[in-house]
Amino acid sequence: MIGKTISHFTILEKLGEGGMGIVYKAKDTKLDRFVALKFLPHFLTANETEKARFLQEAKAASAINHANVCVIYDLQEHESQQFIVMEYVDGSTLRDIISNSAPRKLDLRSVMNFAFQIAEALQVAHEQGIMHRDVKSENIMVNTKNQIKVMDFGLAKLKDSLKLTKTTSTLGTVAYMSPEMIQGQGVDARSDIFSFGVVLYEMLTGQLPFSGDFEAAMIFSILNEEPDPIHKFRPDLSSEFLHLLNRALEKEPENRYQSMKDLLIDLKRVNRDQSKSDNQPGLVTKSKSIASLGNLQKRKFVLFLSIGFSAIIAILMIVIFMIQPASSPPPITTLLTSYIGSETYPAISYDGKKFAFTWAGEKQDNEDIYIKLIGEEGLQHLTTEPEWEYCATWSNDGNSIIFIRGGEAPGIYRKSLLGGRETQLYSFNSPIFYADMIPKFSPDGQSIAFARYYSYGIRELFVVHLKNHYLQQLTFDKKEINDLAWTPDGHNIIFSSDRGGIAQLWRIRSKGGQPELLDIGGYNARSLSISRNDQRLVYEMGDEKQNIWRANIRDIDSGVIKPYRFISSSKSDCFPVYSPDGEKIAFMSNRTGIREIYTCNSDGTELIQITSLSAHSGVPKWSPSGEFLIFESRLEGNSDIMIVDALGRIPPRKLTNHPSDDRMPSWSADGQYVYFSSNRSGNYQIHKIPIRGGEAVQITTQSGFCGYESSNGKKFYYKKYMDITGPIYEINFENGEDTIAINDVCFSTVNWILNAEGIYYVSRNEKNDQVLKLFRFMTNEIEQLGELEEPFALSDVSDDFKYILFFLNEGYSSDIYLVDFYQ
């Protein structure tokens, strides 16, 4: 492989090899940077399970955005061999640093510095439902700036995802494994906390807390023995530090720190107080205290026996055992579909034995209704019309499917599973976009639950009681609701919502109460359905994928613009914009599960998350000075305009605080004002507000959604709301005239940008091909720059007029999962 060029990567050297991949250092010839390429080993390429585990690594790692986690740039395939393109870390493993410091130990300041970074990386992962499961010093890199990079999420487990790990194999390095992992029990974030404790002990002492000459001996040590007292190696540690380490290494998960967040709080407190500590030699080691406690308990028990209480104790134990409720088995999550494309809108039959869903088929040419028996191969292709069919539900007798069809004859239809012609039950006169949605009858037929649309990203859950027409609102927090289902007893409603930051499953009492997050459903769980016996639930889990592309405007081939993928992840990255000096790019991404604002260098390196609002945020714009970013955010449900320091040092603050939706911000040329579109007057209009606070002033009268001030501050250009193919308008601030500036098809409301040279916009030519055009201010003429072969969304042009940034919707992919023994 050395010296070989794959795609635009030249292989330079082999960096290492593990059970899940071979890693090479490579040169990215397009972006002129070093990267690391991780290939699935050749002997595993034919194994679909191993490929799936490899993909899970990429998905897990790319979902985490943190300075101390190795960045995943892309996932590609070469000659049927998949590989991950990741950040190249110039440095050493933590294991090597510890070894090289022997016989001296790492100084306490270095230990604390490394510990903070590792803990913060794991905390971010855990908060996204991702456990690493292979935390060890070999998987932690330290770069030349002493920055930690947690590597190798090859064993990472996305919460409630398909269980790909082989139950017959012992994974991870045994010395760092938690007792529950060794014993094959279920693991969660607390297992990573134990492994972190092992790494912390190793950094402090230069050796591992548990020892053994072979694997069985090591396992015995972890399960039964206690580490050597750490004060024997580090008498400089405070008793609080020793307590922290002991708690992290507790053998029972319930006795450990329950979250990395709690551990971090104690770690910071210990670091603050360490200099004040009296340097006591430490606590009595756990092995001695447990042994002493055991002896004491034995003596007490003998005493009880001697005075004749054993019979009473035995009777009490029997009574307690008899009245203690039996524990329910945990729900089991199973992948039901993993076909090409997306499987959506699952509906489980009332007996829980089969389910209906929408799929575009092997050819991905038409979305139809399919039926599948759970646990068996094969599909029944129920509908075959060329229109889109979706939202299937089962008839009461279980012999027919009722569904919605779009196309030329939209409506509600019914078709028997036994064959025959379908029947149209209801005809739609026109498409409905915004209304009361997802109506679901209660099991007794006396109530209907539904989601009421308020604005983009905001739906509330309601129940209407048919007997007295009483309308009851159940949710009040201005979040999205994707789907809902009644539990068979009618006492609860399960619904999908992003109120926790990402789409997950929630439960609320049908008579009212607080929503409760369920520990089933996993990441981005959307459409759902429950069997009538209350034992099975199916749900759809998927992601929309958008990537940022870049094109060299001076390198147009035969009239065609050739963008290349520039910034990508397994999630959506979009709306990129250059900083005024061209050194940075800001963009929005949901790689942490919800849309936040990020920046990176102009070559795509040094990714930094600027906002952590846990609220949909996007459409960033740099201030003329490059010091600030403005963006829209749904921090309180409705959209407000916010401003943040471009380095992320100061928390964001609101510029607008109105119950309306304030969107699509842009700067005035002097940086003193911010323009935005708001529906506060009833329909969307452009408003202007001082950057230092004050009242917003409306500047458009007909309509306005997206606009920019000219570089000289004398004019304002804008598009009207929902005017997809309409012209671009111009307001002359000197005389107040509002006229058409570009009377051409400007495709999409936001698919255009303005700079000192002119207005770049996406249009259509006479062949209806998508083309990029430039309206030059100097000549007042329109110039066609080139065709676009994909439906790229224009986002920005560099100030040197060399590069164009686009983003491209590269599809939505989803699968259907089953939760068994649902309670």
Residues 331-361: tens digit of each pLDDT: 677 889 888 888 999 999 988 999 999 999 9
Predicted confidence band of residue 821 (pLDDT cuts 50, 70, 90): low
Residues above pLDDT 90, as percent of the chain:
44
pLDDT at 496: 93
pLDDT in tens, 747-773: 677 889 999 999 999 998 877 788 999
- Rounded distance, CA 72 to CA 567, Å? 10
Mean local confidence (pLDDT), 306-332 = 46
781-788 vs 560-561, strand pairing mode: parallel
pLDDT at 53: 63
134 carries an active-site annotation: yes
pLDDT in tens, 176-216: 999 998 888 878 899 999 999 999 999 999 999 998 877 77
Q: How far is CA 714 from CA 352, 670, 702, in A?
A: 66, 11, 20
Predicted confidence band of residue 296 (pLDDT cuts 50, 70, 90): very low
454 or 223: whose pLDDT is higher?
223
What is the 3-state secondary structure of 298-357? HHHHHHHHHCCCHHHHHHHHHHHHHHCCCCCCCCEEEECCCCCCCEEEEEECCCCCEEEE
101 or 578: whose pLDDT is higher?
578
Predicted confidence band of residue 416 (pLDDT cuts 50, 70, 90): very high
pLDDT at 315: 42
pLDDT at 160 over 60: no
231 or 241: whose pLDDT is higher?
241
532 exposure class (CB count in 10 Å sphere: 0-12, 13-18, 19+) = middle
pLDDT at 734 over 90: yes
pLDDT at 474 over 90: yes
Edge-to-edge, what's the strand order for the sheet holding 400-405? Answer: 389-394, 400-405, 411-416, 423-427
Predicted confidence band of residue 297 (pLDDT cuts 50, 70, 90): very low
Q: What is the DSSP string of 46-88?
A: T-HHHHHHHHHHHHHHHT---TTBPPEEEEEEETTEEEEEEE-
Which residues lie closer than 8 Å to 99 by C-beta, 6 or more apart? Answer: none
pLDDT at 299 over 60: no
Q: Which residues of 305-341 are buried (b: 16+ CB within 10 A; e: fewer)?
A: eeeeeeeeeeeeeeeeeeeeeeeeeebebeebbebeb
Sign of the alpha-carbon torsion through 208, 211, 212, 214: negative
- Please give the structure tokens belonging to residue 32: 């002129």
- Rounded distance, CA 424 to CA 411, Å? 7
Cα angle: 598, vertex 115, 144; to 5 degrees: 65
State the fold for domain 5-87: Phosphorylase Kinase; domain 1 (3.30.200)
**Phi then psi for 684, rounded to 5 degrees?**
-70, 125
pLDDT in tens, 11-61: 999 988 765 678 999 999 888 889 999 887 655 555 566 566 656 656 666
- Which of 417-431, 534-548, 774-788 has the weakest average pLDDT? 417-431
pLDDT at 522: 64
Q: Residue 265 gets which letter from DSSP?
A: H
- Rounded distance, CA 671 to CA 691, Å? 8
Predicted confidence band of residue 290 (pLDDT cuts 50, 70, 90): very low
Q: Residue 43 gets which letter from DSSP?
A: G
**Phi then psi for 635, rounded to 5 degrees?**
-65, -35
pLDDT at 1: 81
Quick check: 762 and 748 in contact, CB under 8 A? yes
pLDDT at 316 over 60: no
Predicted confidence band of residue 309 (pLDDT cuts 50, 70, 90): very low
SS3 at position 40: coil
CATH superfamily for domain 333-542+814-820: TolB, C-terminal domain (2.120.10.30)
pLDDT at 320 over 60: no
Assign residue 524 a region (left: φ > 0; alpha: ψ between -120 and 50; beta: otherwise): left
Determine if the peptide bond prior to 620 is cis (ω within 30°). no
Q: Within its chain, how far is the Cα of 435 from the centroid?
A: 28
pLDDT at 317 over 70: no
Mean pLDDT of the chain: 83
pLDDT at 103 over 60: yes
701 or 637: whose pLDDT is higher?
701
pLDDT in tens, 439-473: 888 888 899 899 987 766 778 999 988 888 889 99
pLDDT in tens, 531-582: 987 689 999 988 778 999 999 988 887 789 999 999 987 678 999 999 999 9
Predicted confidence band of residue 3 (pLDDT cuts 50, 70, 90): confident
Quick check: 324 and 816 in contact, CB under 8 A? no
Sign of the alpha-carbon torsion through 107, 113, 117, 123: positive
pLDDT at 717: 97
Helix (H) or strand (E) segment spanning residue 601:
strand 596-601
pLDDT at 301 over 80: no
Mean local confidence (pLDDT), 506-523 = 85
Right CATH for 544-762+790-811 from 3.90.550.10, 3.40.50.720, 3.20.190.10, 2.120.10.30: 2.120.10.30
Count other Cβ atoms within 10 Å, centred on residue 597: 28
pLDDT at 675: 98
Which residues lie closer than 8 Å to 293 by C-beta, 6 or more apart? Answer: none
pLDDT in tens, 367-386: 999 999 998 888 999 999 99
Q: At what angle do helices 189-205 and 108-127 cross, to 10 degrees?
A: 170
- Rounded distance, CA 568 to CA 807, Å? 10
Mean local confidence (pLDDT), 116-136 = 89
Quick check: 230 and 237 in contact, CB under 8 A? yes
- Rounded distance, CA 684 to CA 662, Å? 9
400-405 vs 411-416, strand pairing mode: antiparallel
Q: Which one of the listed residues 134, 640, 661, 662 is annotated catalytic?
A: 134
43-52, 434-443, 632-641: which is most confident: 632-641
Quick check: 25 and 38 in contact, CB under 8 A? no
pLDDT at 671: 96
Q: What is the DSSP string of 152-211?
A: --TT-EETT----S-TTS--S-GGG--HHHHTT----HHHHHHHHHHHHHHHHHSS-SS-
Q: Which CATH architecture has domain 91-283?
A: Orthogonal Bundle (1.10)
- Which of 250-254, 604-608, 611-615 has the weakest average pLDDT? 611-615
